Chains A and B, each alone.
Chain A
Amino acid sequence: MPVEPPRTPAANSLDDQLELGPLQIGSQTIKSRLILGSGKYDSFETMRDSISASGTDCVTLAVRREKLNDSSARNILDFLDYQRLTLLPNTAGCYDAVTAVRCAKMGRAILEGLDNPGQHWVKLEVLGNSRTLLPDPFELLKATEILVSEGFDVLCYSNDDPVVARRLKDAGAAAVMPAGSPIGSGLGIANQNNQKIILAELKRDDPNYPVILDAGVGTASDAVIAMELGFDAVLLNSAVAHAEDPMKMSAAMRLAVIAGKLAFKAGRMPQAAYGSASSPELGVISSRKS
């Protein structure tokens, strides 16, 4: 009579395992741990399809001057499902607090007109240098204080300096978003130790404070590493838009964020300098010992 194999307990369904839970950022809640940028795509169609492949419910946009006397019909909003997505306007291109505050208010005004929940928040970028695109921490802090007082949920695009990150949180930022490396560089996380310190400092006694890796992600493994370190989400644009196949990379990023978060929640095994066998010592046939 055939021996029945022992029954293993049914694993949780894949959906249960993949459920990461929503992320609360100030007054907003998003479901995906991947926030996607809408810039640098070859076409609006590629952008639309990449956003779809990513599974995200949050997309960043920039605020720019409307063109005078331009009757071309194509508008980015025709390619964004903004009834479903939460739009996150940025203040890209601003180099001082006053301009960034004006830009944030413009973004809010546009989204109020669309009745999009993104009207309550802003991705605050205040750049210090057009070649590196790294933030100016002094103007960034000033702008954060002003925008917090004006009722914005401020998501600060910051550098990877733990002191700056702490100052931004203390100023009332709804989230701090350290750069892994310069925008569009694809270098991933340049200083893992700094990021670990930032995460530990910002989440001390406040484990749900949102810390989001923003800038420099180049490929899926960068996103996995970020989530394994403990970031709550990853914001990326170039990694998808400049991939050879943006939709495929977008799908990879969707999986990467889930994989990294699950690994973080699973609690990784300890690391050691020496080996530790996975197969038992007892009953080895070999007579060789070392």
Chain B
Amino acid sequence: MAEPEKIAIAVNGNEQIVVAGCSVEDLLLELFPKIQRSENKSSNQFGAIAVELNSEIVPHSQFSQSVLKSGDSVEVVTLVGGG
């Protein structure tokens, strides 16, 4: 059985090798177990995060449809303490 094709993307500034065709949702489930585990305090599954793909915000409703390509740059951000 052929090995799935891998692609290189940037996630939060670092290179990650992921399976070609993986979606933003797949990426979150694989790399951010904390988000996955967080109590469902809001209407969406992934809680208080935002995802930016190549400098554009990806709405939560689009996570499963947003397919990642080689060279993509992803930012996964959350709220922290600040003034």
What residues make up the interface of A, taking CB atoms closer than 8 Å to B? 37-41, 47, 60-73, 75-78, 87, 89-90, 92, 102, 105-107, 109-110, 113-115, 183-184, 215, 235-238
Contacts and interface: CB of A to CB of B under 8 A. Distances in A.
Contacts, number: 128
Given A106-B52, A113-B44, A47 B32 contact: no
A66 B12 contact: yes
A250 to B, nearest CB: 14
B20 interface: no
A238 B51 CA distance: 30
Given A65-B12, A71-B37, A39 B82 contact: yes
B50 A47 contact: no
A39 B83 contact: yes
A77 B48 contact: yes
B interface, over-half SS: mixed
A90 to B, nearest CB: 6
What class of interface size applies to chain B in its complex with A? 35 or more
B30 to A, nearest CB: 9
A77 B39 CA distance: 11
B49 interface: yes
B79 interface: yes
A233 to B, nearest CB: 14
A235 B82 CA distance: 12
A41 B34 contact: no
Given A39-B82, A109-B59, A238-B83, A77 B33 contact: no
B79 A63 contact: yes
Contact of B49 (A40, A66, A72): A66
Interface in B38-58: 38-39, 41-44, 46-52, 55, 57
Contact of B83 (A60, A71, A87): A60
B69 interface: no
A92 B82 contact: yes
Contacts of B39: 78
Closest 8 CB pairs of A and B: A62-B82, A37-B83, A237-B83, A109-B50, A39-B81, A38-B81, A65-B12, A39-B82
B59 A67 contact: no
Candidate in A102, A106, A215 with the most chain B CB atoms within 10 angstroms: A106
B77 interface: yes
Given A105-B57, A114-B41, A62 B31 contact: no
A47 B59 contact: no
Nearest to B59: A109
Given A37-B82, A68-B32, 20 more contacts: A38-B82, A39-B82, A61-B79, A61-B82, A65-B12, A65-B76, A65-B77, A66-B78, A68-B11, A69-B32, A70-B32, A70-B34, A71-B33, A77-B47, A92-B82, A102-B52, A105-B50, A184-B83, A235-B83, A236-B83
